[in-house]
Amino acid sequence: MDLQGFFHRQSPDYADTQALGRCLRALMEAGLDQLPLPGSGRTLERFQALAEVGGHDLGLCKLYEGHTDALAIIQQLGASPTPGSTWGMWAAEPPHARVRVSPHGRLVALHGRKAWCSGAAVLSHGLLTAWDAQDRQQLVAVALDQPGVTVTDQGWQAVGMGATGSVEVLFDGAEAHAIGHPGDYLQRPGFWQGGIGIAACWYGAAQSIAERLRSHCAHREEPHALAHLGAVDSALQAAADVLRVSALRIDAAPLDNAELLARRVRAVVEHSAGQVIQHVGRALGAGPYCKDRQFARLIADLPVFLRQSHAERDLAALGQRVINGTWTL
């Protein structure tokens, strides 16, 4: 079974984190979480799968992307995930929530608070960044069903993306496995490749939102709606093109630093998604916001998910990298 066939039999109405967790586990049990690794020669297939899930439900996509990203990272760094496990990938580092790691026999012990832990209440494991005694970042894998792990209900008041349950998790001596060496999480080529995967999720949701406008225009002759559809088409085409090209470039040079590529792709796809939200809303009015449950959820979730981009800070970082470059065709 492929993702499209799986979702054909699923309701897109995931009311809460528990529902998302059940669907993620069903995807895992069906083997639909086994995506090609970035740089494997099939990177576009990976992006297409992320876009497919994003177009179905962004809350589910958030958990699915984190799970599949964790599986890829663990393999890239020479380890193996626990069979039958579901994973969160938690790397946010706000000042008030930083986990410390210390040696504990053959394992390590975790102490501290981790923020923005999407799906923590329904996942079996977390892959997260922590900090050792030398203040170096270390990636660790931790089973969540053990003493010393407390999944709180704190830090999450969202409406958009609300079902992801991106709460804070407390660690008090929980045992974990170190994955790779200090610094590996950010230094591996897959870090920026994974950042492009996030843009594929944005694209999938924007495409699904846009399909409502295409369907509307196919049944009604409205010049203004057609103009909005033309604007949407050009935006989505630009996003699709940069995602396809990025997949080809990653596969051609899987060990290259993909930061510049990722920053460009994310900027283009974020802009395109914003254009889709604006044009579809202006063309269709309040109707689908109020009467189409899946559309209403996507249109509420996508602006929140897009804020995984840091807006002008990311654009400034892109500008800094290209300030001495040239543009050619």
DSSP bridge partners of 87: 125
Give the model confidence (pLDDT) of 100-150 as tens digits.
999 988 899 999 999 999 999 999 999 999 999 999 999 999 999 999 999
Contact assessment for residue 243 and residue 47, using Cβ atoms and an 8 Å cutoff: yes
Predicted local distance difference test score (pLDDT) of residue 106: 82
Q: What token pair was written down for 275?
A: 């254009």
The strand pair at 107-117 and 167-179 is best described as: antiparallel
Give the model confidence (pLDDT) of 149-167 as tens digits.
999 999 999 999 999 999 9
Give the model confidence (pLDDT) of 6-62 as tens digits.
998 887 678 899 999 999 999 999 999 999 999 999 999 999 999 999 999 999 999
State phi, psi for 266 to the nearest 5 degrees: -60, -40
- List of domains in the chain: 12-77+188-322 (1.20.140.10), 87-182 (2.40.110.10)
| Confidence at 97, pLDDT banded by 50, 70, 90 | very high
Answer left, alpha or beta for residue 282, where phi above 0 means left and psi between -120 and 50 means alpha: alpha
Work out the average pLDDT over 251-268: 98
| Confidence at 1, pLDDT banded by 50, 70, 90 | low
Predicted local distance difference test score (pLDDT) of residue 63: 98
Work out the average pLDDT over 185-191: 95
Predicted local distance difference test score (pLDDT) of residue 230: 98
pLDDT, the chain, mean: 96
| Confidence at 221, pLDDT banded by 50, 70, 90 | confident
Q: Which residue matches tokens 């993702």?
A: 3
